Structure 1
Amino acid sequence: MATSIHETVLIGICDGAIDKKKNASYCTNKIGDRPDLLPIITLQYPSCSLCQRGLSHVVQVYCPLAASPYHRTINVFACTSPQCYGKSESWIVLRSQCLEDDIKERQDHKTTQCAEPTMSRTDWCDEADDWGMDDEVAISAVEKPIDSVGEGNDVSSKLQELCIDGGVDHQSAPQSDNVPVFKPFYISVMEETDLDGFQDVDHENELLREYEERERVSVEEIQSCESGEAREEYEKGTAKHGDDTFTGFMKKISLCPEQVLRYSWNGSPLFIMKPPCNASQMVPSCSHCGSLRVFEFQLMPALVSLLGSADTNSEISLEFGTVLVYTCRNSCWKSGSTVPVEEFLFVQPDPDQKYFK
């Protein structure tokens, strides 16, 4: 399904490793590590429905919704067993919420505080156009990580400021010590429309060169196809792997192949392979309030190469093409609840995974 011209898509990229001496907070967008729980939330680590192993934390996204009084965090977990790769049943996505008053009640018990988010709830997810962006009001930062894109780049000045806070209450997750942990990285955010100014020349050019050699296509020529005749000629061509959906996927992300996350609340997913005919019917309604679920974000292939073990004495990995996350349209939440709500996701494998590493 193509992204509508009216949709705003936000792109997440890796923005440097998280210092082991500091702890991230629930309002930090990050890769790996352990989840950082909202103050009132308790979590028992989820297990794989296929092999019963504990699931490792993959990403954390702080994403309050427009006109909502709730802080809102989404955590995605996956099984690192090779036999479970590429299977939706080996993943889980959990949504957590709490009110500002709940956080204030717990502040006295924190040794390190995260600066209170001052952005209006209406600035978030109004058609997802302010996810992680500075718009006069932003999350204050104790420290901004080193910009992996480069200090002189125009886009880097727009990337999200990140804050530091206490970590997970591990007493609420007694199984966590036995679960493999991925290396922690910050995720910074930009609008897809800003990608014309994004340059990470060496890595980007290498990815594009490998892709063009493999598929026998020129991304530059594809992007210049503006006339109907040229577009029709391109669409009639067949990539070497024979998958037009994958070719379209590569074309869409060619300006930033290292994007690890695409966010578009109530937008359209970017499929890496042709979805089932009944794809829309595969997404179940919310099991708590019965409302429809909408697409919120997806994990991208470039994330795979970042998912290494935080323990230098062990090796873990994960393979997938893209992971599509759908959440309750109403983002329903029962007052006083302390347990995350499970949402829906499904995984598409990558036909050319090695070209993202």
Structure 2
Amino acid sequence: MYAIYGNLFEKINAYHSGVALYNLNGGPNISLDYFAGPTLVNALIPENITKDSQGNYDLTWDTYGLVEVTNYINETYWSKRELVMYGFTGLQVKQFLSWVPVYNQTHPIYNLFSIASDGTSSKVNNFFKTILNNNLVSSSSSSSSSDIDGSNENQIIYQNSSTCDDFVWASFNAIYQLGGTLVGMQSNPPKDQITLLTTGEPTIVDYNNATQRDQLASFYIHLMDLANHKNESALQIFEELIGLFNGTFYCYINEVYYEMYLSKSTPISFTYQPTPMPSGQRDSNSIKTLDNCYSKSSNPEKSFLDRFSKVQLIFIFIAIGLGTVIILYLSIGLIVNKARGKSGTNLIPNKKLWISIVSKFTDRNKYKPLLFENTIQ
């Protein structure tokens, strides 16, 4: 990591986090983590900034957020810190794994930053809050971001981040809502949080406006240049950017650019502090899963007919039909033969035919048991 990013993440205490599922019955273990692709830098800086013959800039991005699922746990990689959090059943594991793709669908882009007011503003545009605030973030994430940088109660959260830690806390919430039992944890685990603190609401940049697009290009060109200085930390880079652009900062979130003015006293906050776990009444219906995935509840008791395939049912009905015909045939035959004055075994209709059929299956000279042995060495 250092060879790639240098001191860029000097203020961050943990580079990566994930969820590991240990199978207590000796089956396969599973690890899950959410990462920025192709690299974290791609989530911060455009892939290309080009300029046409008329002097117009164009910015292109290659970035995404992806949940990676593996059927093993790399004990060497996940070595810095390990917390045993929850115990849950195989059914709950299946439900959880069917929730993961839904989470990724609603979090397709890795977003390193949360965006919040610096606490001096008390008004918020509800429309802006609706389009930016990620309402699908788990209740645990929402509660942890209510005072995202430790500021006063007037702080407004404009945007939640979408990082590996956010995925972990959303997973905690999903597991809890599905009935997971908290075990082996004495205190709330710490969570990384990077927050941009603004003096007012971010505004959407009109990318089709040449002047605004030029400002975007200038900002990211300087950011790319500063990020190449491996001896500088993220905080130093932000300080330089704030100086160059007089506090103006831009964020690219879900294919939309936002302009904001960062607080001069505290433009960015890096925190690594205990964050509350989900609690209260559980609601498994709040966890959305794939429609074609495993059911959220135990399989209902199947009826007798549901336990057989269509082919099996056909043979069953044929057998029942034949049995009914035979019983009717024998019953009517017995009545007729009794009326004719017959008695004993002579009451059986077509007695000689039935004796002949039975004798074929009881002739030991024709049917002998065979013993097959495995002769392969």
Q: Which has the higher helix share?
A: 2
Indicate the TM-score class for this superposition, using the shorter chain for normalisation: under 0.3
Normalising by the residue count of structure 2, what TM-score does the alignment of the two structures yield? 0.24
More relative contact order in 1 or in 2 (CA 8 Å, sep 6+)? 1
Considering only CA atoms, is the larger Rg found in Structure 1 or Structure 2?
2
